[in-house]
Structure 1
Amino acid sequence: MKSSIVESQQSWFMRNRMTALTVVIVAAYALFVQWFWGWPVIISQWADVGAGPVIGALVALTSTYFLRTWRIYDYFPKETAGRFATLFRVTQIHNLLNIMLPFRTGETSFPLLMRTEFGIPLTRGTSALLVMRLLDLHALLAAAGIGFALAAADALVAWSLWAVFLLLPVAAFAARKPLLRVAARLLPDKAQKFVVEIENGLPLDAAAFARAWAMTIVNWLVKVIVLAWALGLMGVLPMAASFGGALGGELSSVLPVHAPGGVGTYPAGITAGAIALGASSERMALAALAQASVNAHLLIIVSALTGTAISLPLGRRGKL
């Protein structure tokens, strides 16, 4: 009897170990903030900004979740037709899990949820997610490249390299069929169905690819501008530094090394990005930047929770 209880406890821990790790790290982060600055100091910074800008930033950030959902809705038009509300719920659950679980483990929820709700094969859902994440990363790196090109000594070379990088997704999409044919020849017969599903997970045609690419750019443009604006309101100057901070934080969220809830890694990304594009690294300025980065991180978490709260009442089989 005792043995079965122990086994049950161990089984519970194995099933919930990621959640437990997330709770422990977030709690440790909250204690660290309290010890280093004190939560009243952090919250007072928002009070100085004012309720209007804070609410406006939350509304703008939450609106990007609808755009992300539309990108997937357009990506799988047949499977998701008439079920935008359900898809919004799926994308919000995936987004929250992705934020809260470490090392991108939350990403695995997307293909699973898409299979459960819309019957999309795991391989196809995973392929589509990989394409979208590559587009996300490319958009952020291209935006960061603008800052470095502006500061480069040789403007012609810098902007030429940036233009080449900007067009990489177009080249990759154009070369997709030859690459898939090579993969089909190299892989054994049993793996051929996976190649087919991977191809099905790519945009259907150039127009679908262009829409996905455009929605990716608009989504990240809105998000980075809102975060840069919020950082500027909290004293991160010059404006280029607040822009760099917003990019640094978001880049940390799409890279493989990502702490639960972005605790530590997201504020560190903001700090590094802001300093790279002109923020002062003096002690007092660095302390103010650290406070602003924590508050910007809290803004992201609250917007994700807001989006999830909006989506949860939507029925599993709801129609739009």
Structure 2
Amino acid sequence: MVKKSNFLISVLILLLFVYVLYRYDVFSQISNMLRDLSYKDIAFSLFIYVFVYIFRALRLKLYIDEIPLSEMASVIGIHTFFNNIMPFRSGETSFPLILKKLYGIEITRSSVILFGARIFDLVSLSVLFLLSLFYVSFSDKRLIFFPILAVLLIVILLFVIYKFLCFFKERIPFFEKLIVASAVLFRADKLLLMFLFSICIWILKFTAFMFILNAAHLGLGFFKTIFVSTFAEFTTILPIHSVGGFGTFEAGMVGGFSLIGMSAKKALPYAVYFHTLILCMSGFTALSGWIYLSLRRKT
């Protein structure tokens, strides 16, 4: 019953979104935009986007080294596509399931490693978004509240984590030894590499995003691209949205555009174009990965 109601809500969101696009004549604006696209920039963004998957594969191979790099990148391509089209990050389940089916890797092991990678993604995204907040606030003093709030939230979060660790340290025997054992298990050098790979992944991803917007002759620059697209990235964790995230993704991106002074009416066509192209690129890499894995399985 819950799944059925979620599906109906997703369909309603999609229908409402299509109506909004029709109401504000977005389709004709996108059509005009496509005629004037810089396909050189799009090709360059796709080239960079492929390297995002390679670095993601390198990051996961720190703990799953029995899978060749090319095959790991192909698995990640398929997994990312499912994440892009399924709500509430439910596409994450595709990664451990594929590894279990093709390589016999235990679901628990791959799930823990993927969860660790997601933590590093969150940290890396937060660092880059905080830098973009300071950059944007320097160019528009009205937004100075956002970096101050972000720093305050980070301080509060660190304080809560500290208190949380102290609580368990005082009440659970051998808690400190457990922390030390965990550090030995994961190894500091691998954790550092995980963080460096994560930073590289997001820098490459936002660079690809910047070239996608440049192709439509919207030169925001690197840090403004981070600022705008991060709002859209956050919508992917919503429990309810339409197929492929159409509607909610655009709403997040339009919100980011509005904070840097662009009207919603002007921003909406760019958000739809951006989202559609990202899904197409994700679908292309997923299909390429699936074909490659199919050929590898046959041999």
Q: TM-score, normalised by structure 2?
A: 0.74
Q: Check the 8 A contact 1:236/1:242 in 2, yes or no.
A: no
Taking structure 1 as reference, are residues 242 and 294 closer, same or farther at Cα in structure 2, changes over 3 Å only? Answer: same
Q: Which residue is 1:300 aligned to? A: 278
- Does residue 269 in structure 1 map to residue 255 in structure 2? no
Q: Which residue is 1:205 aligned to? A: 187
Identity of aligned residues (%): 19
Q: Which residue is 1:5 aligned to? A: none
Q: Which residue is 1:191 aligned to? A: none
Q: How big is the shift at 1:311?
A: 0.8
- Does residue 125 in structure 1 map to residue 110 in structure 2? yes
Taking structure 1 as reference, are residues 258 and 93 closer, same or farther at Cα in structure 2, changes over 3 Å only? Answer: farther
Matched residue SS, 1:74: coil
Q: How big is the shift at 1:84?
A: 2.8
Taking structure 1 as reference, are residues 34 and 146 closer, same or farther at Cα in structure 2, changes over 3 Å only? Answer: same
Q: How big is the shift at 1:264?
A: 1.4
In 1, distance between residues paired with 2:119 and 2:95? 15
Taking structure 1 as reference, are residues 317 and 303 closer, same or farther at Cα in structure 2, changes over 3 Å only? Answer: closer
| Higher-RCO chain (CA-CA 8 Å, sequence separation at least 6) | 2
Q: Which residue is 1:318 aligned to? A: 296
Q: CA RMSD in A?
A: 4.2
Q: Check the 8 A contact 1:85/1:318 in 2, yes or no.
A: no
Matched residue SS, 1:318: helix
Q: Which residue is 1:244 aligned to? A: 227
- Flag structure 1 segments of 5+ consecutive residues without an equivalent: 1-13, 186-194
Taking structure 1 as reference, are residues 125 and 28 closer, same or farther at Cα in structure 2, changes over 3 Å only? Answer: farther
Q: Check the 8 A contact 2:39/2:215 in 1, yes or no.
A: no
Q: Which structure 1 residue ranges, 4+ long, deviate > 3 Å from structure 2?
A: 16-36, 152-155, 157-162, 181-185, 232-243
Opposite residue 221 of structure 1, the aligned amino acid is: I
Q: How big is the shift at 1:225?
A: 2.3
In 2, distance between residues paired with 1:17 and 1:257? 12
Report Cα offsets for 1:127-161 as digits up to 9, x if no partner: 22211112112211221111333437899x96994
In 2, distance between residues paired with 1:24 and 1:59? 36
Q: Check the 8 A contact 2:14/2:247 in 1, yes or no.
A: no
- Flag structure 2 segments of 5+ consecutive residues without an equivalent: none
Q: How big is the shift at 1:51?
A: 1.8
2:201 aligns with one of 207, 219, 224: 219
Q: Check the 8 A contact 1:242/1:274 in 2, yes or no.
A: no
- Does residue 87 in structure 1 map to residue 65 in structure 2? no
Q: Check the 8 A contact 2:41/2:214 in 1, yes or no.
A: no
